[in-house]
Amino acid sequence: MVGHMKTTVEIADSLLESAKRRAAEEHRTMKELLEEGLRRVLADEEPRKPFKLRHVPPVQGEGLQPGIREGDWETIRDISYGLK
C-alpha cells in the first residue's frame, strides 16, 4: 500500500490559478495534477548514459595549403566557399 502525506507548499497565485483551471478543464483533482507534474520533473532527472564519441578515423593529408596560416579562419572559409 502506498502511503500518503499531507504537506503545505507556497505557490505563486497566478500559477495556482492556472493549475486550478487546468485541473477543472481535465476533470482532475489538484492532487492528481501536482503528482503528475512532480513525477515528470523527477523522471527528467534520472541518470542518463554519458555521451560517448564514436571513433572517427584520422583525416589523411599533409596539413594546411601553402599560404594559409593556422587559425586563419577567414581564408579557410573563403576557400571552402570558393571565394578564393
In the chain the first and final C-alpha atoms are separated, in Å, by 74
Q: Is residue 78 scored above 80 in pLDDT? A: yes
Alpha carbons 76 and 72: distance in angstroms, whole number = 6
Q: pTM of the entire structure? A: 0.49
Alpha carbons 17 and 13: distance in angstroms, whole number = 6
Structure confidence at residue 51 as a pLDDT band (50, 70, 90): confident
